[in-house]
Amino acid sequence: MHLMYFTEQPMSDYPEEEARKAGGISALMLSNKHFNAVDGSRLYNERIEEYLYAEEVGVDGIMLNEHHNAPFCMQARINMYASILAAMTDKVKIVLLGNPLPVSENPIQLAEEIAMVDMISKGRLVSGFVRGGGSEQLANNTNPAYNRERFEEAHDLLIKLWSEPGPFRWEGNHYQFRVVNPWALPLQKPHPRIWIPGVSSPETVIWAAEHRYPYICLNTTIQQTNNIWDVYDKAAERVGYKSGPEQRGYLIRCHVADTEEKAMKNGREFMWMLGEFTGLGHPVWFSPPGYSSPESRRRRAETQTTQRADGFEQQLATKNIIAGTPDQVIASLKEILQETRPSILALWGNDGKVDHADSMDCIRLMGQEVMPALREIGKDLGLDSPFEVDSPISLAQTPASELHPITV
């Protein structure tokens, strides 16, 4: 298995009463006059300490993401943080989940940034891509109606410039460049692995399968996750390959502590981002007009209803949140692995007001006790790390002789 550590990098130190005045909404429109740069500096540096410690205790990968105009995530430029970690770490994979392609006005510059991180890390980068949430389109002044088109075109341009020598010209519907010829190219050839994270969009799941990119389910329920695998597997069959655990990833909220009491106290902080403590945005901003298909909106509504309507105790019962001592967490995660079978697992260690000391303890217990047990469980279940499996990293890298599309 490939086991990662993740935190949303929240900044909960703002006056919650101000968010409550706005109906409990903090993303996008809570005034930045409430931002405290002293606390921000402390939090950024504490996160670096936590990531370095994660490598020290044996975590396989550090998962990073990006959001804008929201206290629930201070990560405004994923490649910047990745470059810092690339220089300060030695072994851990740096997993970007991911760069929001539709909000990029210059995919060529983005490709250069990714190539730099890959070279500085000496080939330890995984370059994931996302469409970005609906509020990201508003924060970056991008028309949400063209989100998917821009995502796919930016992706195609990136793959072409990494796979074919320049200079060449690009005349697309959303991007036009007279000269495409980036000098900096990735160390990994033809490019770093590409993983696609998401929640509920069937179109994105199908698109990932059609490209043979692993799909990372972001804290979906067990049933929702298995429904996603069903959609992925059928799409993979249609283009000619049989998908397996190496194409499956799963992110789960998970806090580990020495005592059950402390684990429950800190585990409850996951409810902060789910709205109990004002860490969310307006539903309309998450899916503005034109951003999602009707089916995607339906599935997202199901996901948000499940995650935000259920209280903490119910989230524990359904294993949407895992919290406990190492033995308790291992037992719960074993059940999840048995039912969903991903080879890629990310543990979301903290949220809300969990302090630095408790975050470090959580990382220590994950690395020293939980993850070694999960690796043994993964071996028993045949969940080999995608880095240990002799499998093409994309459909484009799959020999034609190995593809046997199913015609309908």
This prediction's pTM: 0.94
What number is the average pLDDT over the span 12-27?
Answer: 76
Q: For residue 406, name the pLDDT band (cuts at 50, 70, 90).
A: confident
pLDDT over threshold 80, residue 187: yes
Phi, psi dihedrals of residue 233, rounded to the nearest 5°: -60, -40
pLDDT of residue 110: 98
For the ranges 18-22, 329-333, 355-359, the lowest mean pLDDT is seen at 18-22
Length of the chain: 408
For the ranges 94-108, 137-151, 228-242, 246-260, the lowest mean pLDDT is seen at 137-151
Sign of CA dihedral 42, 359, 353, 305: positive
Q: For residue 200, name the pLDDT band (cuts at 50, 70, 90).
A: confident
What number is the average pLDDT over the span 20-32?
Answer: 76
Q: For residue 306, name the pLDDT band (cuts at 50, 70, 90).
A: low
More confident: 392 or 277: 392
Of 82, 150, 86, nearest to 122 by C-alpha is 86
Cβ-proximal residues to 165 (8 Å cutoff; 6+ apart), any chain: none
Burial code (b: 16+ CB inside 10 Å, e: under 16) for 111-149 equals bbbbbbbbbbbeebbbbbbbbbbbbbbbbeebebebbbe
pLDDT over threshold 90, residue 347: yes
Whole-angstrom distance between the N-terminal and C-terminal Cα of the chain?
A: 34
* Residue 388 buriedness (CB in 10 A; 0-12 / 13-18 / 19+): exposed
Query: Which CATH topology does 2-402 take?
Result: TIM Barrel (3.20.20)
What number is the average pLDDT over the span 154-183?
Answer: 98
pLDDT of residue 276: 64
More confident: 388 or 407: 388
pLDDT of residue 63: 98
Cα–Cα dist 94/12, whole Å: 25
Cβ-proximal residues to 310 (8 Å cutoff; 6+ apart), any chain: 318, 320
pLDDT over threshold 70, residue 302: no
More confident: 392 or 278: 392
Return mean pLDDT, the chain.
92
Per the DSSP assignment, residues forming a β-bridge with 156 are none
Q: For residue 126, name the pLDDT band (cuts at 50, 70, 90).
A: very high
pLDDT over threshold 80, residue 358: yes
pLDDT of residue 287: 77
SS (H, E, C) 333-386: HHHHHHHHCCCEEEEECCCCCCCHHHHHHHHHHHHHHHHHHHHHHHHHHCCCCC
Residues of the chain with pLDDT > 70: what percent?
A: 93
pLDDT tens-digit series, residues 263-293: 999 999 999 877 665 566 666 777 787 887 7
pLDDT of residue 305: 54
Q: For residue 127, name the pLDDT band (cuts at 50, 70, 90).
A: very high
pLDDT over threshold 90, residue 245: yes
Residues of the chain with pLDDT > 90: what percent?
A: 77
CB 399 within 8 A of CB 370: no
pLDDT of residue 289: 79
What number is the average pLDDT over the span 24-37?
Answer: 83
Phi, psi dihedrals of residue 336, rounded to the nearest 5°: -65, -45
pLDDT of residue 150: 97
pLDDT of residue 304: 57
pLDDT of residue 275: 67
